[in-house]
C-alpha cells in the first residue's frame, strides 16, 4: 500500500464573529493509492474542511492551520507556492461538489465550459514548464480540447456527446449534470478525486448510477477517491476503507468490512446501529443520542465524551491517541489502549 495522502495531526481554526472555532482537532488520515475511501460523520464534524485542505481550497482567512501536515505524494501542500497549488488543482486533484448546478455556469454551453477548463489546465501546465517548445495554434488547441471533452463525456455516460456538448446546463437532468462535473473533474487526469456528497441532491436510482460510475473510474483510470457521504449504505457497497469523523477528529478508520463487522469506537458503534437492516443506500446517520458540541468551546479531551456511555475521567483529561487494533484498523479511544480493551 503506497500512501497518496497523509494528513498528520492537522489542526484548523476558523475565525468567526462569534469567536475562534476549533474545527479540526488533530486529524490524522491516510489515503492509499487505489483506495475508495468513504468519510462519514454527522454534519459539521469537519469532513469537507479535511477534504478541501488537500487541494488547499479552504479559504484562509477565515481558516488558519496552527499545526499539522497535509502530505500529497510526500509533499506538504500547506507549504507549497501558489504556482504549485495551481498545478496540484489542475492535474493532480479533481473535486466534485454536492450541487451539480453550482459547478456549471448556466449562460455557457457545456462545450465552452469544458474546453475552457481543459485549456486552462493545459495553460497551468505550460506555466509550470510542462510541454514547452511545442505550442500548437489556438484553433488547433481548441479543436483538440473539444475532442478530449467529447471523449470524457462519452466516458461518463452522456449519450451522443458530439451533439450534446453544444447544449446548455439547463438542458441536462441533475444526474447528467453531475456526470458532466465528474468529466470536468477528471479532465486533468488527476490522481485523486474528492467527491463531497456528490449524490445528495439526486434521486435514489440516479445516485446509484453516479456512484457506480465513480467505482468504475477507480478501476479503469487508476483513480484514488475520497468520497464524503452521510450514507453508510453507500460506503458499505462501494468503499474499500472507511474513516469516521467526530467533531474535528478521525475517531476510527480501517477496511470497510472490518469496521462494519467489528466497530470499536462507541461513536462508530452508534452509527452502525443506524444502518437499515437491508443495508440499502437509504441509510443515514441518526443512531447516536445527543448533539455535536459547539466547536467554539469544544469539550476537553475526547470530544465525544459528552455523549459516550463509557466516559471516564481520563476521557475528559486528554485526547486519546490512535491505537492499532487490527491490521489497518485504528481507533482513538481509551478503551483500546495497546490494541486491547483496557480493563
Ligand atoms: N468558511 C467557514 N467559516 C467559518 N466556519 C466554517 C467555514 N467552513 C466550515 N466552517 C465550520 O467548520 C466546521 C466543519 O465544517 P465542515 O463543512 O467541514 O463539516 P462537514 O462535516 O463537511 O459537514 P456537512 O456534513 O454538513 O457537510 C463547521 O462547524 C463549520 O461551521
Ligand atoms: Mg461537508
Using DSSP, state whether 67 is helix, strand or coil. Answer: strand
Pocket lining for ligand 1, CB < 6 angstroms: 14, 16, 21, 23, 41, 43-49, 59, 62, 295
Using DSSP, state whether 277 is helix, strand or coil. Answer: coil
Q: What's the gap in Å between 23 CA and the centre of ligand 1?
A: 7
Number of Cβ within a 10 Å radius of residue 139: 8
For residues 228 and 54, is the Cβ–Cβ distance under 8 A?
no
| CATH (residue range 101-188) | 3.40.50.300
What mean pLDDT do residues 254-266 have? Answer: 93
Residue in 216, 234, 341 with CA at minimum distance from that of residue 282: 234
For residue 263, with 0-12 CB atoms within 10 Å meaning exposed, 13-18 middle and 19 or more buried, which class applies? buried
pLDDT at position 283, please? 42
pLDDT in tens, 99-110: 766 778 889 999
Give CA 335 to chain center in angstroms. 29
Q: What's the gap in Å between 48 CA and the centre of ligand 1?
A: 7
Where does the pLDDT of residue 128 fall: very low under 50, low under 70, confident under 90, or very high at 90 and above?
Answer: low
Nearest ligand, measured from the Cα of 49: 1
Report how far residue 268's alpha carbon sits from residue 271's, in angstroms, rounded to the nearest whole number.
Answer: 5
- DSSP for 208-256 reads HHHHHHHHHHHHHS--EEEEE-S-HHHHHHH-SEEEEEETTEEEEEEEH
Least confident residue range of 153-157, 170-174, 300-304, 338-342: 338-342
Report how far residue 38's alpha carbon sits from residue 195's, in angstroms, rounded to the nearest whole number.
Answer: 10
Q: Does the pLDDT of residue 300 top 50, yes or no?
A: yes
Give CA 108 to chain center in angstroms. 28
Q: Per mean pLDDT, which of 8-12, 236-240, 269-273 is the most reliable?
A: 8-12
Nearest-atom index, ligand 1, CA of 46: 18
Three cell numbers written together for 222? 487508476
DSSP bridge pairs for 95 = 194
For ligand 1, atom 1, the nearest C-alpha belongs to 62
For ligand 1, atom 5, the nearest C-alpha belongs to 14
Q: What's the gap in Å between 293 CA and the centre of ligand 1?
A: 13
Nearest ligand, measured from the Cα of 230: 1
Report how far residue 254's alpha carbon sits from residue 251's, in angstroms, rounded to the nearest whole number.
Answer: 11
Q: Does the pLDDT of residue 146 top 70, yes or no?
A: yes
Nearest-atom index, ligand 1, CA of 59: 1
Asked if CATH classification 3.40.50.12780 holds for the domain at 1-92+190-291+319-343, the reply, yes or no, is no
What mean pLDDT do residues 200-215 have? Answer: 82
- DSSP for 134-194 reads ----HHHHHHHHHHHHHHHHHHTT-SSHHHHTTS-GGGS-HHHHHHHHHHHHTTT--SEEE
The answer to whether the 1-92+190-291+319-343 and 101-188 domains have the same CATH topology is yes
Q: What are the sequence ranges of the domains in the chain?
A: 1-92+190-291+319-343, 101-188
Q: What's the gap in Å between 162 CA and the centre of ligand 1?
A: 39
pLDDT at position 281, please? 38
pLDDT in tens, 317-341: 999 999 999 889 999 999 987 666 6
Q: Best mutation site among 10, 13, 15, 23 for ligand 1, i.e. most ligand atoms within 8 A of its Cβ?
A: 23
Q: What's the gap in Å between 304 CA and the centre of ligand 1?
A: 18
Q: Does the pLDDT of residue 143 top 70, yes or no?
A: yes
Residue matched to cell numbers 449562460? 107
- DSSP for 86-125 reads HHHHHHTEEEE-S-TTTTS-TTS-HHHHHHHHHHHHHHHH
Q: What's the gap in Å between 45 CA and the centre of ligand 2?
A: 8
Q: Positive or negative CA dihedral for 327, 332, 336, 339? A: positive
Report how far residue 161's alpha carbon sits from residue 72's, in angstroms, rounded to the nearest whole number.
Answer: 34
For residues 304 and 245, is the Cβ–Cβ distance under 8 A?
no
Report how far residue 12's alpha carbon sits from residue 17's, in angstroms, rounded to the nearest whole number.
Answer: 17
Amino acid at each position: 500500500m503506497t500512501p497518496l495522502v497523509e494528513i498528520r495531526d492537522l489542526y484548523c481554526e476558523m475565525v468567526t464573529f462569534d469567536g475562534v472555532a476549533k474545527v479540526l482537532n488533530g486529524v490524522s488520515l491516510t489515503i492509499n493509492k487505489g483506495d475508495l475511501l468513504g468519510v462519514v460523520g454527522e454534519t459539521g464534524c469537519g469532513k469537507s474542511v479535511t477534504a478541501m485542505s488537500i487541494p488547499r481550497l479552504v479559504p484562509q482567512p477565515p481558516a488558519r492551520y496552527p499545526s499539522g501536515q497535509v502530505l500529497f505524494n510526500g509533499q506538504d501542500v500547506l507549504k507549497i507556492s501558489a504556482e504549485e497549488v495551481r498545478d496540484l488543482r489542475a492535474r493532480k486533484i479533481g473535486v466534485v461538489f454536492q450541487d451539480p448546478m453550482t459547478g456549471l455556469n448556466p449562460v455557457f454551453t457545456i462545450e465552452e465550459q469544458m474546453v475552457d477548463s481543459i485549456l486552462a489546465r493545459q495553460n497551468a501546465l505550460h506555466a509550470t514548464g510542462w510541454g514547452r517548445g511545442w505550442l500548437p495554434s489556438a484553433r488547433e488547441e481548441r479543436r483538440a480540447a473539444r475532442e478530449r471533452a467529447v471523449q470524457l463525456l462519452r466516458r461518463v455516460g452522456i449519450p451522443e456527446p458530439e451533439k450534446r456538448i453544444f447544449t446548455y446546463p439547463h438542458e441536462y437532468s441533475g444526474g447528467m449534470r453531475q456526470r458532466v462535473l465528474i468529466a470536468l473533474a477528471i479532465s486533468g487526469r488527476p490522481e485523486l478525486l474528492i467527491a463531497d456528497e456528490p449524490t445528495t441532491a439526486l434521486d435514489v436510482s440516479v445516485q446509484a448510477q453516479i456512484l457506480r460510475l465513480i467505482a468504475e473510474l477507480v478501476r479503469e483510470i487508476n483513480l484514488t477517491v475520497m468520497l464524503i457521504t452521510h450514507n453508510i449504505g453507500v460506503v458499505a457497497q462501494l468503499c474499500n476503507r472507511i474513516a469516521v469523523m467526530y467533531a474535528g477528529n478521525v475517531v476510527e478508520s480501517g477496511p470497510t468490512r472490518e469496521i462494519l463487522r467489528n466497530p470499536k469506537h462507541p461513536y462508530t458503534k452508534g452509527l452502525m446501529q443506524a444502518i437499515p437492516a437491508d443495508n440499502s443506500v437509504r441509510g443515514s446517520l441518526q443512531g447516536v443520542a445527543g448533539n455535536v458540541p459547539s466547536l467554539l468551546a469544544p469539550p476537553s479531551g475526547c470530544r465525544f465524551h459528552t455523549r459516550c456511555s463509557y466516559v471516564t475521567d481520563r476521557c475528559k483529561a486528554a485526547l486519546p491517541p490512535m491505537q492499532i487494533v487490527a491490521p489497518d484498523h485504528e481507533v482513538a479511544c481509551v478503551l483500546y489502549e495497546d490494541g486491547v480493551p483496557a480493563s
